[in-house]
Structure 1
Amino acid sequence: MRKLTSLLLGILIAAVVLLGGSHLWHSRGVEASVPRQGQLRIASLNTHYIVLDREGGPWSVAGWDRRKGAMAAQLGSIDADIVAFQEMESFRRGDGSVNLARDYLLEQLPAYAAAATGDWRDFPSTQPIFYRRDRFRLVDQGWFFFSETPDIIYSRSFDGNWPAFASWALLQDRDGRRLRVLNVHFDYSSGENRLRSADLVAERIAPWIAAGDHLVVIGDLNAIRGSKTATKLQEAGLALWPAAGASYHLNRGINLFPAIDHVLLAPGMDYAARPVLLREAPGGVWPSDHYPLVADLDYR
C-alpha cells in the first residue's frame, strides 16, 4: 500500500508539473501592486470553517485563536476596498448564531462594514462581503443556493450534497457608481454540482449583464481555468484572468494545483494587472488553507 501511495503521489505531481503554473515548494509572499487613484482593490479569502465542539487542531476554536491574528494582519496589509469571504462559519449543527471570524475581523478592521450577512435563520452568514465604510454604501444584498430550489435557504445541492450558495451585495461608490459583487463557493467534491452551479450563476447574472451593471464574480470555484466549470462562466460573459500558481496550499504552504480561487469580470470592468495570491504566513502561522486572492480593477 505504501509503494502504491508513493507511486500515485508521484504520478499526481508529475501531472501537475506538466500542466504548468504550479510550484511544489513553500512560496515566498507575492506583493500586490499599489492601486492607482480611482481603481478598486478587491480580495477573496476562504477562511476555513471553525468547529466549535472540536477540542484541538487548526480548525478548532483553539486553532482559530492561534491563526486569527495572522489573518487580521494579512488583511490589513492587503488594504482592499472589498473582501469576499467563504467558509466564514463557526460550525455547530443546527445553530448558526455564532460567527467568530466575522465578528473578530470586524472588530480588528474597523474601516470595514459587512454586507451579505444577517440573522442566520433568514440570511446565510458564512459568505459575508466586507466593504470600506468611507468609500461604499450598501444598497441591497441577497443570496441563492446552488440547488433545485435556489431561493429556499439551506436547501441541499443538486445531487443532495451539503448546501452551497452565492451571496451578493449591491454597493454604491462615493462617486455614485454602483457595483454588484457576487461571492461564490462551489462544491469541492462534486463535478456535477459545480457545473450546475455555474449554470445557475449564468442564469442569475444574465439580467445584470444585460442591464450593463458593473459586476464582479469572485470566490472559491474549486475549479481551474480551462475546466468546464470556469468555461461555463466565461461563456456567460465573464472575463477570467487567473492568478499564477496555487491558491489552495493544504495549510502547509505546499502548492500542487493551479488556482481555484478567481475573480471574474462582466463587461464594464477591467483588470488593472494580473490578480495575485499572497503566499505569506505572518509570524509563521498560516491564516487559512487558502491564500488571499487580490485584484486591482478599473471601472470602464
Structure 2
Amino acid sequence: MRPPTIRPLLVALLLSLPCCAERSPLVTDGGEADGRPDTSRPDIGELGGPQGFGDAERPRIDVPSGDAGADPGPELPTGPAPPVTVATWNLRDFSPYGAQESRLDHIAQQLAALDADIIGVQELEAREGSDGSPPQAWDALLDRLPAYEGVHAPWNLQDSVVGLLVRRDTVRVLAAKPIFVGDWWPFPRAPLDATLSVEKPEGTVLLHVVVIHLKAFGDSESLSRRREACTKLAGALGGRGDARYVLVGDFNDSPHDPAPESAFVGTLLGVEPVWTFVTAALPPTTVSSTGGSHEVDGQVIEGGLLDQIVVDETVTDLYPAPVAEVIARPVAEYDAWRAGWSDHFPVILHLTP
C-alpha cells in the first residue's frame, strides 16, 4: 500500500467549503426532491480539481462541494496502456441504518469478488438522524475492504449521493469533485468526476471516471430530465481530446428503448465515435435491475437494463473493443438478492488494449 500524502493546508481549504450540494427544499417520490430550479446553464466546475487526504488512521479522500479552483489536470501518459476493469453498482439505500446495516457483509464480499480496479456506486445515504459525520455505512464498508480506498460526493441529507472505490495497489486518485452542482433539474444527484491514474506493470493510463445516478421513474417529465442530463453530459464532456471519459452508473433507462422513449439517442447513443454506449451491445433480455419488467419479442422479462457504461473516443482509441457484463442472478433468486444485497446487479467494463 502506498502511503498517503498529507497536505494540511489543502485539507483546511477543503474543510472550509460548504458541506452539501445545492438542492431543492422539497422532497417527494422516494427521496428525490421535486422542485424546479433555475433553468440557466450552471458552471459544471473545473474538471479535475485539487485533492487531499484526511483521517490519519485510515485515509479518507475529501471532496470539495464546489469549484476548488482551475486546474489544467495532469498530462496524459504516453506508452502502452494496461488492462483496466471498471464496475458500477447501485447499493440501494446504503444506508439509513449506518454501521448497523444488515447487508454490509454481503455487499462488501460482493464488491471484493468483483476485483475491479475502479467501482462506481450509487445510493449512498447518511445515517438517519445524523449530519453525515462518521460512523456511516460507507465507513463500515471501507473497513471491510482493505484493498480499496473510497471517495463520495458530499452528503446530501435530502437524497442519496454517488461514490467511488479504487484499488490501492493499481489506482491513484489525482482529483475528485462533483460536477453540475446546483443544476438540480437534470441532476438530482450531482455526478462525481474523478481523475484516476491506473498504474500496472503493463503500463499507465489516465482516466476520468464519472459516476452518475439519473432521475428515476417512467413518466414523461422524468424522461425529459434524463434527456436533458445526457445532453449536458455529452456537450460538456464529449469531444475533449485532453481527457479519457468513462461514464458509469444508474441511468434509469435502457439503451434498447425505441427513439421516442429513449433518453440516450442522439446524445450518448448512436453518436460513435464521439461516444460508445458499451452496455447497448448487451442483449435486450439483459437485466441489471430487478424492478419492473420489459418485453422482448413477446416474452416478458422481469427487471430491466438501467445501469450503463459509456466511453468516449479517446478511450476507444486505446481500448478499441470495450466489453460490458452484468453479474446477474436467476429470477428465482431475485427476492433473496434484494433482501441481502441490492435491487441492482453489478455491471463490469473490461478494457483490454
The one-letter code of the counterpart of 2:174 is V
Of Structure 1 and Structure 2, which has the larger fraction of its residues in helix? 1
After superposition, residues 224-263 of structure 1 pair within 5 angstroms as: 224-227=254-257, 228-231=262-265, 232-234=267-269, 235=271, 237-242=274-279, 243-244=282-283, 245-250=286-291, 256-263=302-309
Deviation at 1:84, TM superposition (A): 0.1
What is the identity, as a one-letter code, of the residue corresponding to 2:224? E
Q: CA RMSD in A?
A: 3.2
Stretches of structure 2 lacking an aligned partner (at least 5 in a row): 1-80, 293-299
TM-score with structure 2 setting the length: 0.59
The correspondence of residues 17-166 of structure 1 with structure 2, limited to 5 A, is 38-50=82-94, 52=96, 65-90=101-126, 92=128, 95-97=131-133, 100-117=136-153, 120=155, 126-144=161-179, 150-152=180-182, 156-158=184-186, 163-166=188-191
Asked whether the 8 Å contact 1:248–1:255 carries over to 2, the reply is: no
Shift of the 120–164 alpha-carbon distance from structure 1 to 2, 3 Å rule, reads closer
CA distance 1:186–1:261, shift in 2 (3 Å) = same
- How far, CA to CA, are the matches of 1:255 and 1:96 in structure 2? 38
> Cα 1:91–1:85, aligned 2, differ >3 Å: closer, same or farther?
same
User: Deviation per CA, 1:220-242, whole angstroms, max 9, x where unpaired?
Assistant: 00010144212221238221132
Change (3 A) 1:213 1:278: same
Secondary structure in structure 1 of the residue aligned to 2:310: strand
How far the C-alpha of 1:272 sits from its partner, in A, is 4.6
Deviation at 1:198, TM superposition (A): 0.7
1:91 to 1:199, Cα distance in 2 relative to 1, 3 A: farther
Is 1:294 aligned with 2:326? no
The answer for unaligned runs of 5 or more in structure 1 is 1-36, 53-59, 145-149
Over 3 Å counting, the alpha-carbon distance change for 1:182 and 1:279 in structure 2 is: same
1:220 alignment counterpart: 250
Partner residue, 2:198: 173
- CA drift at 1:186: 0.6
For residue 275 of structure 1, give the secondary structure of its aligned residue in structure 2: strand
- Contact 2:126/2:155 (<8 A) preserved: no
Encode CA deviations 1:37-96: one digit per residue, 9 max, x unaligned. Answer: 9311111110111463xxxxxxx569x632221111111111111000010113547833
Deviation at 1:212, TM superposition (A): 4.4
Equivalent residue in structure 1 for 2:329, among 268, 271, 279: 279
Match of 1:198 in 2: 230
Q: Secondary structure at the match of 1:47?
A: strand
TM-score normalised according to structure 1 size: 0.69
Task: Report the number of matched residues.
Answer: 238
- Whether contact under 8 Å (1:44, 1:85) holds in the other structure is yes
2:254–2:304 contact (8 Å) kept in structure 1: yes
TM-aligned CA deviation for residue 187 of structure 1: 0.2
1:168 partner letter: D
Whole-Å separation in 2 of the counterparts to 1:80 and 1:166:
20
Q: Partner amino acid for 1:113?
A: E
**Contact 1:88–1:99 (CA under 8 A) maintained in structure 2:** no
